[in-house]
Amino acid sequence: MLFLILSVIFNSLLLIVFKKITGTQNDLRRVILFNYLIGGTAGILLAYSLWHKLKFEEIEELLLKAISLGLFLYLGFLTTGWSVASNGLLITSTFLMSSFIIPAIYSWTISGESIALWKVAGVLLVLTGINLTAIKRDTPQRISSNLALLLVFLINGVIQVLFMEFTKVMNEYSFSLFTGLTFMFAAVTGSITITWRGIILYRFSEMKWGIFLGIANYLSILFLIKALSTIPHRSIVFGFLYGGILLLTSIISPTLFKEKLHYTTIAGLIFTFAGICIFYISG
């Protein structure tokens, strides 16, 4: 349970860092790029001793998977940072945690898993919740902010589908290496998107935030893997993870960042939290 609690904390820290960067002169793209450089380097170095335990064909397959997932990871972080800046920490967190609906629908329609009534009820509650949460009373609805929320939901849903499919047959050796390679290719994606204008020149503050984000990012995944290996029921792990992040950010956003909580936002949080609990606890 300790690993699961730590994963909740470090995942929440990622969103908090995005919020702290908002309004500064730091370039979010460069912070995210440096984050993945740190996480990728750490992952590959820690998995260095495992290379010889894998066959060449396995490493080649891992590289192809890491390239595709790395692309979506970079885009996912970029859109999440954009959404936190335009919509706030709480609303973005709600849409981010609700993206599990996409792999759920994928499992029902593509993988052929049976559709349980309680799981459908959980999905409907979450859909109701994110719609209520997205209603902002104090500011006019902007197309760009709504687009950011939609992209956070869709891209992170795709990431979960890819992660679910890619890690089905991985052992502990290939998984450790896969995580490091994926982070590194996310950094490569970031480099390609921002270096076409010229050489990357980092501010010290961007490097500082990038290091902090990279460590938190890597530890959030590491502790999640540890939790999955020690707790027998995956549904409990993910239910606690998503519900815990949503609960923690709902406390932090109004207290630390003074974000306003409207009645619709509170209702949306309750619906989303209940939907996540029902979906995962139902098995």
When pLDDT is averaged across residues 50-55 and rounded to a whole number, the result is: 70
What pLDDT is attached to residue 200?
Answer: 58
In this predicted structure, what is the pLDDT of residue 18? 87
In this model, does residue 9 exceed pLDDT 90? Answer: yes
The least confident of 1-5, 44-48, 147-151 is 44-48
**5-14, 145-154, 226-235, range with the lowest pLDDT:** 226-235
CA 3 to chain CA centroid, Å, is 17
**The predicted structure's pLDDT at residue 76:** 92
For residue 50, name the pLDDT band (cuts at 50, 70, 90): low
Residue 140, pLDDT > 60, answer no
Mean pLDDT of 243-252: 88
Predicted confidence at residue 22, as pLDDT, reads 78
Give pLDDT, residue 169. 66
3-state secondary structure of 1: coil
What's the confidence (pLDDT) of residue 141? 59
Model pLDDT, residue 151: 94
Q: Angle at CA 190, nearest 5°, toward 189 and 195?
A: 110
Q: How does pLDDT run across 119-134, given as a tens digit for each residue?
A: 889 999 998 988 888 7
Q: What values do phi and psi take at 103, rounded to 5?
A: -65, -30
What is residue 158's predicted lDDT score, i.e. its pLDDT?
93
Q: Pick the residue with more confidence: 33 or 201?
A: 33
What does the pLDDT read at residue 196?
Answer: 59
Other CB atoms closer than 10 Å to residue 177's CB: what's the count?
Answer: 25
Q: How far apart are CA 84 and CA 81, in angstroms?
A: 5
Residue 283: what pLDDT? 61
59 pLDDT exceeds 90?
no
Tell me: pLDDT of 225 over 80: no
Average pLDDT, the chain: 83
- 100 has a pLDDT exceeding 80: yes
pLDDT for 161 beyond 80: yes
DSSP state for residue 52 in the 8-state scheme: G
